[in-house]
Structure 1
């Protein structure tokens, strides 16, 4: 295995375990990333593997159509979320599909995500996909990718969310703070339905100053260190660390 593939697999495993630690993944959900620039293949966690104890041997290499390479484990049934977004969005290098509590609650209540929290202020203009079943057919994956369009996230009503970005670290950080923003929005709504929302120049500056590669790295490092302390990264081989 090349060093590049090994590093990408390790980042994927860490992201999944770290998201499980903060209740953004449970026995379901998946993260993928492109294998390399110009390579149509991608990595994704195996369908049957526990998200809590995932290792690099549980990471599947899939071709552009979602077919695993010979001898590899079975990918998730919703692999078409990933194949079709990668097909339609060459700018996307990593994807999360999960079932976050607060975002899903807002979707059920028909309350669109609004930017109410500084580091989650990118949470705006998040479209909905209205077919709530498993996205386990290519046609549904194509529909979802079209509905996503140029956005960084989409809500699957009554089901969950999909987040896209330029790296595993970026989609991890985005997923964490979309959910934190949704939680704050929900709780504020209970106190006052006419609550403040970031807007105008204040929103623009807040977005510009609260989201950057340095902040993504800071979020990742914080959660990685917390996961090491709590033991959520136990079981990874020394060379995987």
Structure 2
């Protein structure tokens, strides 16, 4: 892969972090990674980088053992989430670990997430990983990766969620709408009535029509443009001093 493409991947990772922080799916913690296609290397935000002001210069490159290959700061302590999923899933090119409110609340209440909303109807089987501590060892990362299996998301009880996808944009869009689906499910449960879950042919058609590559791009563009209007992406292209010196 050429240098221009790698720069674009780093920019997408940085943008995804700022956009997720803006919609309150990330706080001072959480991380986004992108595997470089055809390699055993990936980009991820550095441990020290503020999620609210992360730049391209804060995106580091590591191998699948978490060894730093490029950048001036170590990866997050939970990089094992990313490496262990990448080792098992050749179809996954992006992993996001976030801390969404409504999904976490449903998990605390032991309420399984169900498809209740059109564009969030891809929610199906969301497995639950019961250990709520930091996933900061290879053993815990392997357990988590085995729990998510071939699914697109796994819930970390009392902690947060992990989303896996074929691209940064797809992982971002899934993160946004899994949480939106959870919010609508939570609000419906407050009414104290039986909730209507999408099922059967209606569910199949809703998924087919509401979740296309064009929808992923539309979701990304909407949040990107909204962030630009609010100056949320200001300075995102800035390089770290070390990166600038090496040019």
Instruction: Name the Cα RMSD after superposition.
Output: 1.3
Q: Partner residue of 1:192?
A: 192
* Structure 2 counterpart SS, 1:106: helix
* Structure 1 counterpart SS, 2:69: coil
Q: Partner residue of 1:121?
A: 121
TM-aligned CA distance change 1:121 to 1:41, over 3 Å = same
TM-score computed with the length of structure 1 as normaliser: 0.96
* Structure 2 counterpart SS, 1:116: coil
TM-aligned CA distance change 1:147 to 1:18, over 3 Å = same
Q: Whole-Å Cα distance in 1 between the matches of residues 89 and 104 of structure 2?
A: 24
Are the counterparts in 1 of residues 97 and 160 from structure 2 also a CA contact under 8 Å? yes
Deviation at 1:193, TM superposition (A): 3.8
Are the counterparts in 2 of residues 16 and 30 from structure 1 also a CA contact under 8 Å? yes
Post-superposition Cα deviations, 1:108-135, rounded to whole Å, max 9, x if no partner, equal: 0000000000000011210000011000
Are the counterparts in 1 of residues 15 and 236 from structure 2 also a CA contact under 8 Å? no
Q: Partner residue of 2:22?
A: 21
Q: Whole-Å Cα distance in 1 between the matches of residues 72 and 203 of structure 2?
A: 46
* Structure 1 counterpart SS, 2:9: helix
Are the counterparts in 2 of residues 81 and 145 from structure 1 also a CA contact under 8 Å? yes
Are the counterparts in 2 of residues 16 and 51 from structure 1 also a CA contact under 8 Å? yes
Q: Whole-Å Cα distance in 1 between the matches of residues 135 and 169 of structure 2?
A: 24
* Structure 2 counterpart SS, 1:42: strand
Q: Whole-Å Cα distance in 1 between the matches of residues 42 and 193 of structure 2?
A: 43
Further displaced range: 67-76 or 165-174: 67-76
Deviation at 1:71, TM superposition (A): 5.4
TM-aligned CA distance change 1:155 to 1:226, over 3 Å = same
User: Any gaps of 5 or more consecutive residues in structure 1?
Assistant: none
| Residues paired across the two proteins, number | 238
Q: Partner residue of 1:32?
A: 33
Deviation at 1:69, TM superposition (A): 1.5
Q: Partner residue of 1:93?
A: 93
* Structure 1 counterpart SS, 2:140: helix
Residue correspondence of structure 1 range 1-241 to structure 2 within 5 A: 2-35=3-36, 37-69=37-69, 72-237=72-237
Q: Whole-Å Cα distance in 2 between the matches of residues 234 and 19 of structure 1?
A: 15
Post-superposition Cα deviations, 1:179-225, rounded to whole Å, max 9, x if no partner, equal: 00000000000103411000011111001100010000000000000
Find runs of 4+ consecutive structure 1 residues off by over 2 angstroms.
236-239
Are the counterparts in 1 of residues 77 and 136 from structure 2 also a CA contact under 8 Å? yes
Are the counterparts in 1 of residues 95 and 165 from structure 2 also a CA contact under 8 Å? yes
TM-aligned CA distance change 1:48 to 1:238, over 3 Å = closer
User: Any gaps of 5 or more consecutive residues in structure 2?
Assistant: 240-247
Deviation at 1:70, TM superposition (A): 5.9
Q: Whole-Å Cα distance in 2 between the matches of residues 70 and 166 of structure 1?
A: 23
